[in-house]
Structure formats: structure tokens, C-alpha cells
Amino acid sequence: MSRVARAAHLASRLRSNGAQDSTRRAVRWLHQRVGAAELDFGLLPGDVADSLRLEPTRAPSRAPGGPLRVGWLSTPSAAGSGGHTTMFRMVGALEEAGHQCVVLLYDRHGSGRVEQQAQVIRAGWPWVRAEIRSVEDGFGSLDACVATGWETAHVLASRCRDPLHRFYFIQDFEPFFYPRGSVYELAVDSYRFGFTNIALGHMVRDRLRAEVGVGAALVPFSCDTSVYGLRGEGPRTGVVAYAKPGVPRRGFRTAVLALREFHRRHPDQEIHTYGAVVPDLGVPATQHGGLTPAQLDALYNRCRAGLALSFTNISLVAEEMLASGCVPVVNDSVDARVDLTSPAVIWATPTPGGLADALSLVVSAADPAAQAAAAAGTVRRDDWGIAGREVARLVRAQVCGDPAGWRGAESRTEPRSDAWEGDPRCPC
């Protein structure tokens, strides 16, 4: 194509599709040209471990009594991160049990000083008293270290030569975050490193067993009812949705199409979003951007229904909405139902029409106040206490060589005795 013809073609496309489409195409071309996709890979090449090449390590048992010193290996956190919030709740639980914790930050890009990253943690999770340092400072003086995601599991396996107890706190089956390929398999391999696995919820425990053939102790989900609760202030109207366009498992594209269909049917119902502000939502909406948990609670208390989509492990959003009397519409799946058992949840076929049908069902109910009260009444009230105490107990039992402490490694909300059944690494 000649330069003149190409210029005419670009001008025609600009007129047809607008400047935003042309800008996006230019950015995509530049992204591909410079290989920017490599920045999305969560590890430095030297930090990739291989389960077939790892040398087994044995850590000595600590004598019972006295505090443990436990490291938590994490990527830098951003304000509002749900995964980091759950991890820091577990850190807080160990500290409440009298143990000392150290947060070891792994920053693949080296994009921030530890002092700056520590300020984010102190501001966002003020209950954490742990020392915060870089993993570059090493693992010395720890009794145990906990990996908290597939990348940090690789770092713990590849960098740590110290004889300490290695745990893996697993909040989701993370291979499902990626297409089948290299990163998927690297995430799968992280479960073969021989760490002591602690799974958040049945979905994770069951997927580890079925997909990889490894076992895990089980700790239950919960909800922070100290923040989320039924306020009973003013009438409820409208719906709310979490906007996370860059995270496929949150189903944002389907949510947008569902909101457009819902608006066509119920133009009188206000639509709210939070998270990312999206320039082309295609439907009238109040976009709140990033909100604190207290602000989220206030928003949920205004709305009748919310989209709580997650295509891997169940999102914490669903139960937080319930606690605030906002009925969650959740994409129906076996994985989701196994850990979210409230009868107030509206399970929907995850298509635009299916989700719009479910939202319509909620906003058409005759008594919004009774609907909200019924939803809030189904929420568990331990405020993560059971999960936190269980993690603290499991860590102490393993580090102190107490196999009997693992025989009760199951959810207290659904007692089971097979948390390590059939696993050759069972310390029982």
C-alpha cells in the first residue's frame, strides 16, 4: 500500500471509529513493537524454580513454647488489594498469638523503595506490626516462611537455602489466571515444591487435589462484619458493580454488557461502579473510582443488588455485599457454590442476559428492606477469627513437630478429617 493510500485509509478509519480507536491501535502497535508484554511476567529469569531440580530441605523442629519468627513473602501491595488484605489478616492473627512476623517484599521490577512500600502497608493495614524488608536482605533468623502466591513460591524455592519450614498460603488456584501455556504451567509447578500447603476454602483445596495431585490443610472463608453491616439508613435503589477491566477473572466485559441490558429494562434504576473509572462504559452510571472499605459499605447500603463476578475462587465482595444488605448476583459454578453457601445469593448463568435477569429479579422484589435484612442475616460473624487462629495453630504445629496438630486441619464450619488424606507429605 502506497503512503498516500495508507494515509487515506487511516483518515477513513479515524472518521469511522473515532480518535480513541486510533489511539488504542497506536498504543497496541507500540506495546508489541517494544515487547512490553514481558513486563507482565512476575519473575526475574533467575527466580524461576523447577520442581524436578529442587534439592529437598529439612528444617529442625523447634521446642514448644516461646514465640516463632515467621516470614511472609509477598509482592508489593496496592491500597484495597483483597488478596493482600486476607494475607495481612493472617499476619495479624499470628501476631495476636504472640509470634513475630516479617514481611519480605519481592519487587520484580525494583520500582519502589522498601520504605515507600512499607508506608502503603502501614496506611492500608494499620493492625500489622511486622517488620517490613526486602527479600534481597535474605531469610536469616526465621523459623518459617510463607509464600503467598505462585511467584513468591518460586522465589522461596529458588532463593532460600536456609533450613526453615516452608508454607504456602493459597487463596486461589492461580493457574486459572492465565491461558494454557508457560505461565499457567509455572504456576502449577509452584504447588509441587513440597511446601506445607494451606488452602483458603474448599475450591482451592479440591482443585489442588484434582489438578495437581497434592494435598492441603483447609481454612475457611469469612467476612469482616466490623466494617460491613446493615445500616438501615434511607431507601435502597439501584445496583453496583466492581470495575476491574484488566483482570479477566473478574468478568468485567460481561458485566458491562449485562449492565447495558439491565439499564434498557430498568432505566429508573441508578447504576454504580467502583474500582477503575472506565471512559466508555456505554451506560449512564455513577463511577466512584477507588473506595475505602467504609465507603464501600456505605455504597452497598444504598443499593439493592450488586454484581460479584469471579471466574476462579469466590470473590470476598459477595459476602461483603450480603453483610451490608446488598444482594449479590454471582456467576453460577460448582467452584463458587462450594464456599459461598448463603441462600440469599442469586446465582446466574454468566451471560449478559442471564446476569441482567438476576439483577432484574432483585430490584423487582416487593419489600427492599426485608430483602436486605434477610441477606445480611446469612453472613458468618467470626470476622476471620477462625481462619486466622487455624493458620497460627497449623504453623506452630508444623514448626514444633506436632503431627497431632495437623489431624484437625479442617474448616470448623464443615468438619472434615481428610485434610491431608493421601498426601505423601502429610506430617501426621
| DSSP character string of 166-227 | EEEEESS-GGGGS-TTHHHHHHHHGGGS--EEEEESHHHHHHIIIII----EEE-----TTT
SS3 at position 37: helix
pTM of the model: 0.87
- The Cα–Cα gap between 321 and 317 comes to 6
- On whether both 302 and 280 belong to a single domain, the answer is yes
**What's the total number of domains in the chain?**
2
Q: How confident is the model at residue 363 (pLDDT cuts 50, 70, 90)?
A: very high
Chain centroid to Cα 122, Å, comes to: 20
Q: Which CATH number do you get for residue 264? A: 3.40.50.2000
Per-residue pLDDT reduced to its tens digit, 7-65: 666 667 667 776 555 554 554 444 344 344 444 658 999 999 999 999 888 888 988 88
- On whether both 100 and 199 belong to a single domain, the answer is yes
**Residue 32 placed within a domain:** no
Q: Which CATH number do you get for residue 182? A: 3.40.50.11090
Three-class HEC string of 270-292: CEEEEECCCCCCCCCCEECCCCC
- On whether both 115 and 203 belong to a single domain, the answer is yes
Q: Which residues partner with 31 through β-bridges?
A: none
Percent of the chain with pLDDT over 90: 75
- The Cα–Cα gap between 213 and 167 comes to 17
Residue 111 gets which letter from DSSP? -
- On whether both 146 and 218 belong to a single domain, the answer is yes
* Per-residue model confidence (pLDDT) at position 65: 84
Q: Please say if the pLDDT value at position 293 is more than 90.
A: yes
**Residue 423 placed within a domain:** no
Percent of the chain with pLDDT over 70: 86
Residue 71 contacts residue 147 (beta carbons within 8 Å): no
Please count the residues of the chain.
428
SS3 at position 29: helix
Q: What is the four-CA torsion angle of 154, 155, 158, 160, rounded to 10 degrees? A: -130
**Residue 13 placed within a domain:** no
- On whether both 293 and 245 belong to a single domain, the answer is yes
Q: Which three cell numbers, joined as nine digits, stand for 20?
A: 480513541
* Per-residue model confidence (pLDDT) at position 156: 97
Average pLDDT over residues 156-164: 94
Query: Rounded mean pLDDT of the chain?
Result: 88
- On whether both 201 and 260 belong to a single domain, the answer is no
* Per-residue model confidence (pLDDT) at position 423: 36
- On whether both 166 and 302 belong to a single domain, the answer is no
Per-residue pLDDT reduced to its tens digit, 325-355: 999 999 999 999 999 999 999 999 999 999 9
Taking the CA of residue 238 as centre, how many other CA atoms within 13 Å lie in the half-sphere pointing to its CB?
16
Residue 403 gets which letter from DSSP? G
Residue type, 22: S
Q: How many CB atoms lie within 10 A of CB 100?
A: 17
| Residues near 145 by beta carbon (within 8 Å), at least 6 away in sequence | 70, 71, 72, 73, 104, 139, 156, 160, 164, 165, 166, 167
Residue after which a domain boundary falls, among 330, 357, 376: 376
Q: How many CB atoms lie within 10 A of CB 62?
A: 17
Closest CA to 379 of 308, 303, 322: 322
* Per-residue model confidence (pLDDT) at position 388: 97
* Per-residue model confidence (pLDDT) at position 27: 47
**Residue 29 placed within a domain:** no
Q: Please say if the pLDDT value at position 286 is more than 60.
A: yes
Residue 93 contacts residue 125 (beta carbons within 8 Å): no
* Per-residue model confidence (pLDDT) at position 56: 82
- On whether both 250 and 195 belong to a single domain, the answer is no
**Residue 11 placed within a domain:** no
Q: Range of 160's domain?
A: 47-222+385-406
- On whether both 162 and 269 belong to a single domain, the answer is no
- The Cα–Cα gap between 88 and 78 comes to 13
Q: Which three cell numbers, joined as nine digits, stand for 241?
A: 458493580
Residue 143 contacts residue 62 (beta carbons within 8 Å): yes
* Per-residue model confidence (pLDDT) at position 197: 97
**Residue 370 placed within a domain:** yes
- On whether both 342 and 360 belong to a single domain, the answer is yes
**Residue 89 placed within a domain:** yes
**Residue 34 placed within a domain:** no
Cα-Cα-Cα-Cα dihedral sign, residues 42, 126, 216, 219: negative
* Per-residue model confidence (pLDDT) at position 103: 97
* Per-residue model confidence (pLDDT) at position 357: 98
257 to 125, 296, 305: CA distances (angstroms): 35, 23, 16
* Per-residue model confidence (pLDDT) at position 210: 97
Per-residue pLDDT reduced to its tens digit, 79-127: 888 899 999 999 999 999 999 999 999 998 776 689 999 999 999 999 9
- On whether both 184 and 288 belong to a single domain, the answer is no
- On whether both 203 and 309 belong to a single domain, the answer is no
Better-scored residue on pLDDT, 410 or 235: 235
- The Cα–Cα gap between 36 and 303 comes to 40
Residue found under cell 487462629: 389
Q: How confident is the model at residue 428 (pLDDT cuts 50, 70, 90)?
A: very low
Residue after which a domain boundary falls, among 376, 394, 415: 376
Q: Please say if the pLDDT value at position 412 is more than 70.
A: no
